[in-house]
Amino acid sequence: MNQIFASPPLLNHGLHAIDATPARWRGRGGLSPLDSDAPDSLIDLRTGYNWYEPGASLRRHGDEFHEEVKGPKGWLLPTRRSLTWLLYLNKEWRAEEGGSLRAYERARPCDHAVGATDDGDVQVGWVGEDREVPVFLGEDPHGERVLYDATGQIRGGCAAGVAPPLATIADAGVRLIRGSLDRNEALPPGEAIRDIRPVAGTLLLFDSVAVPHEVLAVTAERPRVACTGWFHELLPAP
Report the half-sphere exposure of 183 (CA within 13 A, side-chain side): 0
Give whole-number Cα distances, 141 to 135, 146, 149, 169, 235, in Å.
17, 10, 16, 20, 20
Residues near 197 by beta carbon (within 8 Å), at least 6 away in sequence: 93, 95, 99, 100
Q: Which helix (H) or strand (E) holds 156?
A: strand 154-157
Q: What is the pLDDT of residue 164?
A: 63
User: What does the alpha-carbon distance between residue 74 and residue 78 come to, in Å, rounded to a whole number?
Assistant: 10
- The dihedral region occupied by 11, where left means phi > 0, alpha psi between -120 and 50, and beta the remainder, is alpha
Of 140, 132, 135, residue with least CA distance to 157: 140
Q: Enter the pTM of the model.
A: 0.81
Q: What is the DSSP letter of 218?
A: B
Q: What is the pLDDT of residue 204?
A: 95
Q: State mean pLDDT over 108-116.
A: 93
User: What does the alpha-carbon distance between residue 200 and residue 161 come to, in Å, rounded to a whole number?
Assistant: 47
Backbone dihedral angles phi then psi of residue 198, each to the nearest 5 degrees: -80, 60
Q: Which residue has the higher pLDDT, 143 or 176?
A: 176
Chain segment 199-217, per-residue pLDDT in tens: 999 999 999 999 999 999 9
Q: What is the DSSP letter of 110?
A: B
| Domain range list for the chain | 2-106+194-234
Of 107, 90, 108, residue with least CA distance to 99: 90
Chain segment 150-190, per-residue pLDDT in tens: 999 998 876 544 556 666 777 778 898 999 998 889 999 89
Chain segment 42-95, per-residue pLDDT in tens: 444 567 778 888 888 889 999 998 887 787 888 888 788 888 889 999 999 999
Superfamily designation of domain 2-106+194-234: q2cbj1_9rhob like domain (2.60.120.620)
